[in-house]
Structure 1
Amino acid sequence: MSTTVDPSAPKRKRFIPLENNPEVMSSLLHKLGLSPSLQFHDVFSIDDPDLLAFVPRPAHALLLVFPVSEKYEKFRHEEDSSKPEYEGSGEGEPVVWYKQTIGNACGLIGLLHGVSNGPAKAYIQGGSDLDRLVKSAVELKPKERAELLETTDALETAHQAAAATGDTAAPAAEDSVDLHYVCFVKSEKNGHLWEMDGRRKGPLDRGALGADEDVLSPQALELGVRAFLKRESEAGGGDLRFSLIVLAESLD
């Protein structure tokens, strides 16, 4: 069966996928205007307290990177089916959420979720491209926020520069990549853990955290990463490859 494509239809913007690499992620955000006093760090284990102790705390945002499976897609569609499309905006919303409309940009969306919410916002340098972007985004509805990301030249330039670095050759923008990024943040508005994924209908409230708990606390991991791993495992084994990077104080 063939499909006729309207040549006049607008093409979806696509980016070169980002490598899952803390240095690449950090350099992108620093170029946009995040203070160098914050950077991303690998999390090598959530079960070994000794390895977890190497990660600076508090942890401001946690990025989960995983291969998209049929089980995950089924769960995503089922959970979203009863939810309305998110239309939040302004200072009253508990978190700033970005809808992903740029192909292969889930890594970038995850980074923006990490610095637009929680304590990390205080590390955005005033007058920077990132500062202007986040301040503009807060007042917009999700559709307009997505359009803002698509038309911000500084964002695309920084992304292209970061995608060209790393330890492996970057795929082409037209390539399909099976890895997906989800960001977990703690809202400074209500103290809850939020799952931030631009492919969903909106931000997902995963539950309350204590005042002294961050996104790597046992409760946050139970509500977020462990819940994800449990679902994938119980659904039939599947591919449980995943990695974690966290935004926290720089070690330099």
Structure 2
Amino acid sequence: MDLPKEKRWFPLESNPTLLNNYISSLGFSNERYGFADLYSTDEWALNMIQPPVLALVVHFPMSSKILERRHEMHKEVETEIAMEFAILHALFNTPKCIQSSEIEPTSWAEMFLNECPADTLPVDKASILENDNTIECFHDAAAKDPSNQTNRPEIDDKIGIHFATFACVNDKLCDLDGRLDGPICHGSTSIANFLKDACGVVQKWMDADKNEMRFTMLALAPSA
């Protein structure tokens, strides 16, 4: 009997226009909230983002120095699907009032939330997601979307880049990464201080390998 082929996902670009279109296709309204580029961890850049910031998606290089700084735990998820997990972490760790107002009824996002309540084990959520043909189609369409600013890579290309998401969950600064067994808690925070606190952690990653410049950040915040 032939073994099932490993499912492969094309990497998604760190591009707010692309990702706002993508979350809309999943059923998260981007009329009031959407992703915006955050250009630096410095105060001037933070002041350009309209509060409240609901999540921060970080696109970072997987150098040995940065992984060591993050206390890498080597989980099972492929790097190519990392953006998928980062986006879903951002959407599904927003406050319940945001989810109820911004997630459209009968959409893929609502169905996934119903299928994977909060007490579902991360490995089970990952399995459900990786075997979901609907989101695979949405993902592939986004990877081919004309709003991409770079050429679509080959499926076997090693990109050496990973995504993680920061969210404020129960007044804790949580670092959510599909390659890890669970969230990393970086201490207390608040919605008001969340972006500054998250950028403080990201700056430590940057300081760990000053030769690396391949960082980008996307804030999920009120649309302009």
TM-score (normalizing by structure 2): 0.87
- Stretches of structure 2 that go unaligned for 5 or more consecutive residues are none
Q: Which residue of 1 aligns with 2:176?
A: 196
Check 1:128–1:239 CA distance in 2 against 1; reply closer, same or farther (3 A cut).
Answer: same
- Stretches of structure 1 that go unaligned for 5 or more consecutive residues are 1-6, 82-98
Quick one: distance in 2 between partners of 1:70 and 1:228?
Answer: 11
Quick one: distance in 1 between partners of 2:211 and 2:116?
Answer: 37
Whose radius of gyration is greater, 1 or 2?
Answer: 1
SS at match of 1:180: strand
SS at match of 1:65: strand
Counterpart check, 1:47 vs 2:42: yes
Check 1:56–1:211 CA distance in 2 against 1; reply closer, same or farther (3 A cut).
Answer: closer
* Aligned length, in residue pairs: 217
Counterpart check, 1:245 vs 2:218: yes
Note the 1:94-113 alignment, pairs <5 A.
Answer: 101-113=77-89
SS at match of 1:183: strand
Counterpart check, 1:159 vs 2:159: no
Which of residues 225, 229, 233 is equivalent to 2:202?
A: 225
- Residue type of the alignment partner of 1:156: E
Q: Is the CA contact (8 Å cut-off) linking 1:193 and 1:205 kept in structure 2?
A: yes
How far off is 1:11 after superposition? 3.2
Cα root mean square deviation, aligned = 2.2
How far off is 1:220 after superposition? 3.3
SS at match of 2:193: coil
Q: Is the CA contact (8 Å cut-off) linking 1:163 and 1:170 kept in structure 2?
A: yes
Which of residues 145, 153, 156 is equivalent to 2:125?
A: 145
Which of residues 115, 118, 131 is equivalent to 2:110?
A: 131
Counterpart check, 1:18 vs 2:12: yes
- Residue type of the alignment partner of 1:21: N
Q: Which residue of 1 aligns with 2:168?
A: 186
- 1:217-245 Cα offsets, whole Å, 9 max, x none, are x33322x2123223x14xxx331431111
Q: Which residue of 2 aligns with 1:90?
A: none
Quick one: distance in 2 between partners of 1:20 and 1:46?
Answer: 17
Q: Is the CA contact (8 Å cut-off) linking 1:192 and 1:207 kept in structure 2?
A: yes
How far off is 1:48 after superposition? 4.3
Q: Is the CA contact (8 Å cut-off) linking 1:12 and 1:103 kept in structure 2?
A: no
TM-score (normalizing by structure 1): 0.78
